[in-house]
Chain A
Amino acid sequence: MTAHDDSIWDPAAKWGLHPMVAVRPEAFGALVYHYDTRRLSFLKDPRLASVVNELDEGESVNQVLDRAGLSLADRQAFNRALEMLSQTQMIVRR
């Protein structure tokens, strides 16, 4: 896999938290902080926070989303949110 391919969002692949990223649970979901880019993001849904935390153990993003038992609309929204997190290197290919 080349570095270029790694930047493309592919929910069929294995993704996980960037090693320099920390997640802190909050009532609304979670705060996500990247120590390299100093960027802070907000996960506005506790279920999305769980999905992000479970990415490391999943066979693929799709599998983690399957397990979360989401409605179709939520699943699409979560997939979009994860893609955005990938664009800011909060989550990376593993």
Chain B
Amino acid sequence: MAPESTAPRLIDHFERGLQAPICLTWELTYGCNLSCVHCLSSSGRRDPRELTTDEAKAVIDEMNRLQVFYVNIGGGEPTIRPDFWELVEYAVAQGIGVKFSTNGLQMTAAHAQRIKESGYIDVQISLDGATPEINDPIRGQGTFDGAIRAMETLQAAGVAGFKISVVVTRTNVGQLDAFKAIADRYDAQLRLTRLRPSGRGAEVWNELHLTSTDQRDLYAWLLAHGEEVLTGDSFFHLSALGQSLPGLNLCGAGRVVCLIDPVGDVYACPFTIHESFKAGSVREAGGFTQVWRSSDLFLELREPQSAGICTKCSEFDACRGGCMAAKFFTGLPLDGPDPECVMGHGEALLASIDHTQTPRTDVDHSRGSSRRMLPLSVVSRACDESPVAGKAMAL
């Protein structure tokens, strides 16, 4: 991050919203060839109402007019859309960068070659364990090997700096050094993100979310690795433990980020697929631009937010109340502490919540029962690995 990025005045600007999102997440399909236990979009089956190829291209045209630098494409598994590469090429031809998230199962040498040739395509392989024993119970049988094969394919094509994206859980938090070693082995960059109780994540959050000890270990690890490990600004609530982590350190929902879902609905962020956070649809007159600039929800989010009891906390300036989605889907009030508040305020409140009454998403494309058995054994830390300095990146 450039040194001129840290002044508080800039944060005020971000909180009041930008002309267009810095980072736009676009989930192309609810269809998925996997059924991960923590899927934040409850994906599985395609939705018959998903945007058509022409509608998707119109959205890309709009991003171009708004000067959106790049779009994070996800799903579901975006590559199962038959027009996936057509849409990627359409965006790239207009100078819009594409970073797409994939489980890697459909990665071919030809795709890897195309990624290598383009300066505008970046790929992110999801991996939730540094070993099959930890990864597969979360993502499905054989998915560790599948992800590694995709990494080998990318490396063989000479694609350097692709991302390996890990949702940090109680079962894999002991493997951070091992994840880093995998990233180093494939000339990739490690990206760690926070487990949210969104989508099917709500079902497993209680058993998989980090303990306070895990959070302190993760914070120390992130500080030690600086900008060489990406976090998508996921862990800004941990900044209340001391020194700020790299990144903007604010909740960007509806202010600097948002989500377009497969049917064109626009939500405040990728973790808030719920009627309460739906700002509109790209199918409405005025399209995405109108939703971004004038929807009631987004305008409201850009107003100063009441932070309730958090304003009395000594660490409020560091965490600013934490993650809206994490609060909402655990049943906590939005104007209070994050459920994983490092000061312990969230934990105390959670104890008083009736867990049968917490909000659940009304958008669920899960195929049958996706719930899998989770391993109960605690993983020991992998051996220490001296980190190789990677390329610093902002997001």
Contact = CB atoms under 8 A, between A and B. Distances in A.
Contacts of A38: 70, 97, 99, 122, 393-395
Contact of A22 (B13, B95, B392, B395): B95
Given A39-B393, A88-B2, A24 B19 contact: yes
Interface string A6-40: 00000000000000101011111001010111111
Given A28-B9, A39-B392, A39-B394, A33 B4 contact: no
B51 to A, nearest CB: 25
B10 A42 contact: yes
B394 A24 contact: no
A41 B5 CA distance: 7
Contact of A40 (B9, B122, B395): B395
Contacts of B5: 41-42
Interface centre among B4, B20, B99, B394 (most CB of A within 10 A): B4
Given A35-B119, A38-B122, A88-B2, A44 B7 contact: yes
Size bracket of the B interface: 20 to 34
A35 B20 contact: no
A32 to B, nearest CB: 8
Contacts of B395: 38, 40
A33 B69 CA distance: 7
A31 B69 contact: yes
Nearest to A19: B119
Q: Main secondary structure on chain B at its contact with chain A?
A: loop
Contacts of A85: 2
A24 B69 contact: yes
Contacts of A43: 4
Nearest to B3: A84
A4 to B, nearest CB: 20
Given A26-B13, A36-B119, A37-B393, A42 B19 contact: no
B391 A41 contact: no
A70 to B, nearest CB: 16
Contacts of B391: 37
B120 interface: yes
A79 B51 CA distance: 47
Given A37-B391, A39-B394, A84-B3, A22 B67 contact: yes
Contacts of B97: 33, 35, 38
B4 A44 contact: yes
B4 A84 contact: yes
A5 to B, nearest CB: 23
A68 interface: no
A22 B18 CA distance: 16
Given A20-B119, A33-B69, A84-B2, A40 B22 contact: yes
Interface centre among A20, A24, A38, A39 (most CB of B within 10 A): A38
Given A40-B395, A41-B1, A85-B2, A25 B13 contact: no
A27 B3 CA distance: 19
Given A26-B18, A28-B10, A38-B393, 9 more contacts: A24-B19, A26-B19, A33-B69, A35-B69, A35-B120, A37-B391, A38-B99, A40-B69, A42-B10
11 contacts: A27-B19, A28-B10, A31-B18, A31-B69, A33-B69, A33-B70, A35-B97, A35-B120, A38-B393, A42-B2, A42-B4
Interface of B: 1-5, 7, 9-10, 13, 18-20, 22, 67, 69-70, 95, 97, 99, 119-120, 122, 391-395
4 A-B pairs with the lowest CB-CB distances in the bound complex, closest first: A41-B2, A33-B69, A40-B394, A28-B13
